[in-house]
């Protein structure tokens, strides 16, 4: 059975007005949400894989958006934690600006079996490449609003 982006996005792992000074703070805040809601079972394992992907190239795609991601054995359930932060966070980005919205992808390290989730993640990633969507996200003031924009 197909599920929609709206049903796939989980408002329990999304937040607005979050606080973080650094990239690591931001990843930690969102990783904790993923842990608390049962998406990942080990923050350290998960973060290690996220930072491995970070080492391969920049995940700051410009327009104040970052999409850190990676497949990890620390992931129990595929999902995407989305945080809108109060201030601009220093990040390696393609346009040399900082980052205000961090979309942290949690992807299980397995072959097949979760194609539907991966398709949904792919489709959300695509939306993050759309300037109008990004502009709306940057103006959003609640997680409900962010969900609607991405759905």
Q: Which residues bind another protein (CB under 8 A)?
A: 53, 56-59, 61-62, 67, 69-71, 94-95, 105, 107, 115, 118-119, 121-123, 125-131
Quick one: CA torsion of 32, 37, 38, 39, rounded to 10 degrees? -70
- 72: which 2 tokens? 């990890």
What is the smallest separation between the CB atom of 59 and another protein, expressed in angstroms? Answer: 8
CB nearer another protein, residue 130 or residue 148: 130
Q: Is 24 helix (H, G, I), strand (E, B) or coil?
A: helix
Residue 73 sits at the vertex; the CA angle it makes with 118 and 55, to the nearest 5 degrees, is: 80
CB nearer another protein, residue 11 or residue 95: 95
CB nearer another protein, residue 62 or residue 98: 62
> What is the DSSP pairing of strand 60-62 with strand 65-66?
antiparallel
What is the smallest separation between the CB atom of 4 and another protein, expressed in angstroms? Answer: 17
CB nearer another protein, residue 71 or residue 142: 71
Partners of 85 in beta bridges: 18
What is the smallest separation between the CB atom of 103 and another protein, expressed in angstroms? Answer: 8
């Amino acid at each position: 059975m197909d599920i929609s982006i709206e049903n796939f996005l989980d408002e329990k792992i999304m937040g607005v007005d979050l606080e973080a000074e650094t990239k690591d703070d931001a990843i930690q805040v969102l990783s904790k949400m993923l842990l608390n809601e049962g998406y990942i079972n080990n923050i350290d394992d998960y973060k290690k894989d996220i930072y491995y992907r970070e080492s391969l190239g920049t995940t700051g795609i410009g327009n104040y958006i970052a999409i850190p991601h990676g497949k990890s054995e620390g992931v129990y359930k595929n999902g995407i934690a989305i945080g809108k932060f109060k201030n601009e966070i220093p990040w390696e980005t393609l346009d040399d600006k900082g980052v205000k919205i961090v979309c942290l992808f949690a992807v299980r390290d397995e072959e097949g079996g979760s194609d539907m989730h991966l398709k949904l993640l792919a489709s959300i990633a695509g939306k993050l490449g759309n300037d109008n969507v990004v502009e709306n996200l940057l103006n959003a003031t609640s997680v409900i609003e962010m969900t609607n924009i991405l759905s």
